[in-house]
Amino acid sequence: MLHRTILAVALTSASAVHSQTNLPFTLDWRFEGPAAPYFAAIDNGNFAALDLNVTVAAGDGSLDAIPKVATGAFPVGMADINSLIKFLDQNPGAPVIGAMMIYDKPPFAIIGRRSLGIDDTPQSLEGKILGAPPPDGAWAQFPIFAAENDLDVSAITVEPVGFPTREPMLAEGNVAAITGFSFTSYLNTARLGVPEDDLVTLLMADHGVELYGNVVIVNTDYAEANPEVISNFLQGVAEGWAAAIADPEAVIPLLISRNPAADAELELRRLQLSIEDNVATEWVMENGFGIIDDARLATSLDQIATTYEFVNAPDASLYFTNAYLPEGGFSLAE
């Protein structure tokens, strides 16, 4: 009788595991602090409770993640919505769309040193050397930032730099400022020994840039065939972010278990900065997590058009859908 009971339990467990939908998810970047919420959703059982077996893959930028989802190699992923907009303009009809806004404020920023003449005003960049990696997402938005703040770009010397040398050049004083993600370049420069009170962050979103940031993207063919899977996935993502916001320290070990070489203290700071500056914004806390403001998206399209020539007339409905979100989005309170 005991053997039959054990066998029945084993078969039931196997059936439960088998019933879960395997869902590979690609990030746009490496396993750093802001990736911890997705591991929290896995390890805390949020995805499993929704009958999902989610696996997370590291990425190498939005231009790497978007094609992975568009081709169906990954049904879901993470990418910068501005890169997605340009991708869809250049690849009309590609089966990919934004389905859940994560960064209400994008982390595009200028990181400068006060000792080298950079202060809290964009105009302080004039007459200085700005280090910018050509493929950098923040550098791609710099023309909008410059236009919104009436900067004399001819008075700014732009020094093309590589990603590995960007923060070292700022730390060594070879450039007065750099473009980058706020929570990445700031902390990486401080880690190189630059006192934090010597660093200034000019978040582009605080200086006239109305763009959105990273968004969960879905393959539209997969989503249309599996709408409940996508809705459940987005719910699990929201629960993971709610856990990270409630206790950032608790989710960092889940990240470190996937990236043992990472500095836990550094990644905690990175996660906290992303929460404060990009995710749990005043607008999100008042209106809901995951949704967008249609008027703001329209404004962002106008801003993109100031530096990018659309091949096709921009259409907001091609870039974001709330079809898989609850009305009013999610609450970030656990």
Let me know: does 82 contact 140? Beta carbons within 8 Å. yes
List where CATH 3.40.190.10 sits in the chain: 20-105+211-318, 108-206
User: DSSP per residue over 8-65, as a string?
Assistant: HHHHHHHHHHHTSEEEEEE-SS-S-GGGHHHHHHHHTTHHHHTTEEEEEE--S-HHHH
Match 């710099």 to its residue by tokens.
142
User: Both tokens of residue 171?
Assistant: 């730390």
Q: Which residues of 280-317 are buried (b: 16+ CB within 10 A; e: fewer)?
A: bbeebeeebbbbbeeeebeebbebbeeebeeeeebeee
For residue range 77-134, list pLDDT tens digits in order: 999 999 999 999 999 999 999 999 999 999 999 999 999 999 999 999 999 999 999 8
User: Both tokens of residue 210?
Assistant: 């109305």
In this structure, the strands spanning 76-80 and 52-57 are unpaired
Q: Is residue 163 pLDDT above 50, yes or no?
A: yes
pLDDT band at 17; cut points 50, 70, 90: very low
Position 334 scores a pLDDT of 67
User: DSSP per residue over 256-268, as a string?
Assistant: HTT-TTS-HHHHH
Q: Is residue 6 pLDDT above 80, yes or no?
A: no
Q: Is residue 173 pLDDT above 90, yes or no?
A: yes
Burial class of residue 195 in the structure, from the number of CB atoms within 10 Å of its CB (0-12 exposed, 13-18 middle, 19+ buried): exposed
* Domain 108-206 part of CATH 3.100.10.20: no
Burial class of residue 239 in the structure, from the number of CB atoms within 10 Å of its CB (0-12 exposed, 13-18 middle, 19+ buried): buried
**CATH topology (fold) of 20-105+211-318:** D-Maltodextrin-Binding Protein; domain 2 (3.40.190)
Q: Is residue 67 pLDDT above 70, yes or no?
A: yes
* No. of helices (H) and no. of strands (E), the chain: 14, 10
Nearest to 232 by CA among 53, 3, 109, 33: 53
Position 333 scores a pLDDT of 82
The residues with which 108 forms a beta bridge, in sequence order, are 181
Q: Is residue 11 pLDDT above 70, yes or no?
A: no
| Residue type present at position 156 | I
Match 């995805």 to its residue by tokens.
47
The predicted model scores a pTM of 0.88
Q: Is residue 18 pLDDT above 70, yes or no?
A: no
User: Both tokens of residue 112?
Assistant: 């400068």
Give the residue-averaged pLDDT of 201-205.
97
Q: Is residue 302 pLDDT above 90, yes or no?
A: yes
Give the residue-averaged pLDDT of 298-311.
94
Distance CA 118, CA 264 (A): 30
User: Both tokens of residue 325?
Assistant: 């979100």
Distance CA 15, CA 109 (A): 49
For residue range 261-287, list pLDDT tens digits in order: 999 999 999 999 999 999 999 999 999
What's phi and psi for 332, nearest 5 deg? -95, 10
Position 61 scores a pLDDT of 82
Position 14 scores a pLDDT of 42
pLDDT band at 19; cut points 50, 70, 90: confident
Q: Is residue 196 pLDDT above 80, yes or no?
A: yes
| Average pLDDT, rounded, for the chain | 93
Distance CA 297, CA 123 (A): 27
Distance CA 125, CA 152 (A): 9
First to last CA, the chain: 43
Q: Which residues contact 323 (CB under 8 A, 6 or more apart)?
A: 99, 227
